[in-house]
Amino acid sequence: MHGGQYQVASPKLHHCHYSLTDSSFADSEDEEAEAPPPRTPLQKLTTDMCKDRKTIKELMIGRRVGFYKVRGEIGCGTFSRVKMAFHALAKDKVALKVLDKTRLDAQAQRLLSKEISSMELLQHPNVVRLYEVVETPSRLYLVLEYAGGGDLHNKICNEGKCIDNTSKIILAQILSAIKYMHDINIIHRDLKAENVLFTSSSCVKVADFGFSTRVSNRTDALDTFCGSPPYAAPELFRDESYLGPPVDVWAMGVLLFFMVTGTMPFRAETMGKLRRCIIDGAYTIPPWVAGPCQKLIRGILRPVPADRYAVDQMMGCDWLLPVEFPWSLVRQKPVSSLQSLLGSEYGELEEEEEEEIRSSLEELGFTSVHPRINRPTDSRSPVTGVYRILLHRAQKRRGCDCPPVVRGMVRDPKREGLGAYRGLRHTSKLCLLS
């Protein structure tokens, strides 16, 4: 039995059976009871989905998908559209990535399978979360964390380049996400400003894992050209096999340049000229960019992958030294590198957090029928969807979506002469992320 099965008593529902994947919501009646107990929110919802005309019509026309009420469109891609929705029971907003199954060829289906597999493994403050997968005969819906603060591309296009401290805070969060991914051998392969989202509290969320892949180790060679050409590393244009981590690192260098200058490092009128600029590493950093930031950009945007900064070198650079992450994200005694930032549903939850989620599920009307039901992991179960939403809600209350801050000051030796200093505690260095 999968970990997403709950049984619900519904005294007024006799002829309706509602099922999504392996989760069953069946009715029963206690004939000896003098008066039926009040219906739970889940009982009411499942009854409406079977008997209420308005609810049934909304399900038929796509205004509801499973337990989600669908609202307006918030984005679109080559094979998908993204809509805002909210969970009818938990009431939290979500993003629905809608894919038309009839338009997916074999390659697109393989990429989609990889995307779901990658997101199943990812639970990090700076990575968009997958809550649930809902499938109908014609469509597939990925229920994702909703980040309502826009994306980095629109932010810079509308507001111009970021100030130095803002750039540090954004890059540090992207770097945190990428290190976490690389530690479990997941390569993003499509990092770009459009895929860097913000929450309403300005927390960064790396999104869109449509080109992601998982390797057996970080030295595995890849051979598929992925991503947006202006962010593509030189080795991708050479039609050779390549290593995944340096490709993601290069894209972070392009992102950093874009943030601090408001322009792209590699620009050309034609794809051929753009390809030549990237292969040659031909770019110019404006002189007003801070010296430590210039050093970081030059360390990343090196045409030879072996010469390029590694993620750990980026974390240890002077420019990011003042960035301090919330202590609430760091366990006292990390169980492993995968759990050093945040409790995971694949690891041990805090006891009070687990009790909170269990209590919330019971209030909604879910009753456990399996000893390990408290941590469902099957994405195609609606129980897993509400569980993960409640889990994330509890973790946000612990501060998991709080962005880092810049403490102290790092002066630029190029401008300040020999009197440069670091006015901060060294314990705030990004070693907290490793």
Residues carrying an active site annotation: 190
For residues 340 and 433, give the distance between their C-alpha atoms in angstroms, rounded to a whole number.
Answer: 8
Is CATH 1.10.510.10 the classification given to domain 152-327+404-433? yes
The amino acid that residue 98 corresponds to is V
- Across 19-33, 110-124, 333-347, which has the greatest mean pLDDT? 110-124
Collapse the DSSP code of 279 into the 3-class scheme (helix H, G, I; strand E, B; otherwise coil) and give the result.
helix
Q: pLDDT confidence of 344, banded at 50, 70, 90?
A: very low
Does position 339 have pLDDT exceeding 80, yes or no?
no
Q: How many of the other CB atoms lie within 10 Å of CB of 71?
A: 13
Give 400's contacts (C-beta < 8 A, 6+ positions apart). 125, 328, 329, 342, 392
For residues 382 and 385, give the distance between their C-alpha atoms in angstroms, rounded to a whole number.
Answer: 5
Q: Which of 29-43, 218-232, 380-394 has the lowest mean pLDDT?
A: 29-43
Q: Is 97 annotated as a binding residue?
A: yes
Determine the distance from the C-alpha atom of residue 387 to the mean position of all C-alpha atoms in its chain, rounded to a whole number: 17
For residues 175 and 311, give the distance between their C-alpha atoms in angstroms, rounded to a whole number.
Answer: 7
Long-range contacts of 10-14 (CB under 8 A, 24+ apart): 10/39, 10/43, 10/46, 10/47, 11/36, 11/37, 11/39, 12/36, 12/39, 12/43, 12/47, 13/43, 13/46, 13/47, 13/50, 13/51
Q: Find the helix or strand (DSSP H, E) in which 271 lies.
A: helix 271-280
pLDDT for the residue numbered 31:
52
Q: Are 404 and 172 in contact (CB under 8 A)?
A: yes
pLDDT for the residue numbered 36:
75
Q: pLDDT tens-digit profile of 49-99?
A: 999 999 999 998 889 999 999 998 888 877 789 999 999 999 999 999 999
Q: pLDDT confidence of 23, banded at 50, 70, 90?
A: very low
Name the percent of the chain lying above pLDDT 90.
Answer: 53
pLDDT for the residue numbered 22:
42
List, edge to edge, every strand of the sheet that includes 139-145: 64-65, 68-76, 80-87, 93-100, 139-145, 130-135
Q: pLDDT confidence of 132, banded at 50, 70, 90?
A: very high
**pTM tops 0.85, yes or no:** no
Q: Average pLDDT of the chain?
A: 81
Q: What residues does each domain of the chain span?
A: 152-327+404-433
For residues 145 and 85, give the distance between their C-alpha atoms in angstroms, rounded to a whole number.
Answer: 10
pLDDT for the residue numbered 283:
95
